[in-house]
Amino acid sequence: MGNFPYDAVVFDLDGTLFDAEEGIVSSVRKAMEEMGLVIPQGAELRQVVGPPLRYSFHDLLNVPAERLDEAAERYARIFRSEGMYRYSVYPGIRTLLRVLKENGLYVALASSKPQELCEHILQVYCLRHYFDRVIGETDNHAKLGKPEMIRRALPEHYRRAAMVGDRLYDMEGAKAAGVDGIGAVYGCGSEEELRKAGADRLVSDADALRELLCPGVPAPRGFFLSMEGPDGCGKTTQANLLEKSLRQMGFELVRTREPGGCPISEKIRQIILDTENAEMCANCEALLYAASRAQHVHQVIRPAVEAGKVVLSDRFVDSSVAYQGGGREMGVEMIRQINEPAVDGMLPDATVYLAIDHDTAMKRRLSASRPDRLELESSAFHGRVQAAYEELIERDRRRFIVVSGDQPAEEIARQVLRQVLRRLEPGCEQEGGSTWKES
Ligand code: TYD
pLDDT (tens digit, 9 = 90+) per residue, 110-139? Answer: 998 899 999 999 999 999 999 999 999 886
354: pLDDT strictly greater than 90: yes
141: pLDDT strictly greater than 70: no
What pLDDT is recorded for position 430? Answer: 53
Our mutation pick for probing the ligand 1 site, out of 287, 313, 374, 382, counting the most ligand atoms within 8 A of Cβ, is: 374
Query: What mean pLDDT comes out for the span 354-370?
Result: 85
The ligand 1 site (C-beta within 6 Å) comprises: 231, 235-236, 258-259, 273, 289, 314-315, 319-320, 323-324, 372, 374-375
Residue 48 main-chain phi, psi, to 5 deg: -75, -15
Mark 254-270 as b/e (b = at least 16 C-beta within 10 Å): bbbbbbbbbebbeebbe
236 contacts 294 by C-beta, under 8 angstroms:
no
CA distances from 192 to 188, 189, 202 (A): 12, 8, 11
Widest CA span of the chain, in angstroms? 79
Residues 6 or more apart from 276 whose CB is under 8 A from it?
none
Distance (Å, whole) CA 15 – CA 17: 6
For residue 315, the one-letter residue type is R
259: pLDDT strictly greater than 50: yes
Distance (Å, whole) CA 194 – CA 216: 26
Residue 224 main-chain phi, psi, to 5 deg: -110, 115
Question: Of all atoms in ligand 1, which is nearest to the CA of residue 385?
Answer: 19
For residue 67, the one-letter residue type is R
DSSP-assigned letter for residue 388: H
Decide: pTM greater than 0.85: yes
Beta bridge partners of 110: 135
CA atoms within 13 A on the CB side of 240: 5
Quick: pLDDT tens for 260-273.
999 999 999 999 99
310 contacts 251 by C-beta, under 8 angstroms:
yes
Nearest residue to 291 (alpha-carbon basis) of 275, 314, 268: 268
Alpha carbon nearest to ligand 1 atom 23, residue = 319
3-class secondary structure, 6: coil
Question: Of all atoms in ligand 1, which is nearest to the CA of residue 316?
Answer: 24
79 contacts 88 by C-beta, under 8 angstroms:
no
Question: Of all atoms in ligand 1, which is nearest to the CA of residue 272?
Answer: 12
Alpha carbon nearest to ligand 1 atom 5, residue = 231
Omega prior to 259 cis, within 30 of 0: yes
Query: What mean pLDDT comes out for the span 386-391?
Result: 96
| pLDDT > 70 fraction of the chain, expressed in percent and rounded | 96
Residue 319 main-chain phi, psi, to 5 deg: -65, -40
- Other CB atoms within 10 A of residue 136 CB: 20
Concatenated DSSP letters for 159-179? S-EEEEESSHHHHHHHHHHTS
Q: Strands of 259-357 (E only): list them.
A: 310-314, 350-355
What pLDDT is recorded for position 431? Answer: 45
Alpha carbon nearest to ligand 1 atom 22, residue = 320
Our mutation pick for probing the ligand 1 site, out of 233, 288, 297, 315, counting the most ligand atoms within 8 A of Cβ, is: 315
Residues 6 or more apart from 417 whose CB is under 8 A from it?
241, 242, 245, 246, 432, 433, 435, 436
Quick: pLDDT tens for 66-106.
999 999 999 999 999 999 999 999 999 999 999 999 999 99
What pLDDT is recorded for position 433? Answer: 46
DSSP-assigned letter for residue 221: P
Average pLDDT along the chain: 93
Query: What mean pLDDT comes out for the span 56-68?
Result: 91
Question: Of all atoms in ligand 1, which is nearest to the CA of residue 375?
Answer: 14
